[in-house]
Amino acid sequence: MVAAFALAALAACAGEKKSALEPTSAVPAAEGQVRSERTEEGNTKLEVEVKHLAPPAKVAPGAEVYIVWAQRDDKTAGPQNIGALTVDKDRKGKLQTLTPLDRFEVLVTPEPSANATEPTNEPVMRSHVGP
């Protein structure tokens, strides 16, 4: 019974993929990682973690928050706002969210509002999620 539970737990973790969240020259000291996993419902569960990320206002005038976007690989639609990445006083941030996409680029941009419907600034970090 214990062995079966251990195998099930291992199988659940086996589907998780990790990729580096690469910084641009706007935030060269920043580091980040994206963990992704397809759910049984067909969504992609994402966990975005960053550290050493400067406050958004220091990167773009008027920016209050970082937004995480999902841009389809086929670019048939514009980037989708999938959540705000709040950076704390220690310059660390984390976002957990779901998206129906399975192949996409993750972009992080400094924005004036968490309700942004399209990026208004260039990405400061990026990664790719997909099989």
Q: Where are the domains of the chain?
A: 16-129
114: pLDDT strictly greater than 50: yes
115: pLDDT strictly greater than 50: yes
Using a CB cutoff of 8 Å and minimum separation of 24, what contacts does 72-76 make? Answer: 72/101, 72/103, 72/104, 73/103, 73/104, 73/105, 73/130
pLDDT tens readout for residues 60-105:
999 999 999 999 998 888 999 999 998 999 999 999 999 999 999 9
* CA 2, 4, 8, 11 torsion-angle sign: positive
Tokens of 49: 């973690």
pTM (two decimals): 0.86
Q: What is the C-alpha separation between 12 and 5, in angstroms, rounded? A: 11
8: pLDDT strictly greater than 80: no
pLDDT tens readout for residues 13-67:
458 899 999 999 999 999 999 999 999 999 999 999 999 999 999 999 999 999 9
Tokens of 48: 């975005």
Residue 59, φ and ψ in degrees, nearest 5: -100, -35
Tokens 């600034």 belong to 121
**At the top level of CATH, which class does the domain 16-129 belong to?**
mainly beta
What's the CA angle centered on 123, arms 53 and 112, to 5 degrees?
75
Tokens 């990790």 belong to 18
Point out which residues pair with 19 in neighbouring strands: 34
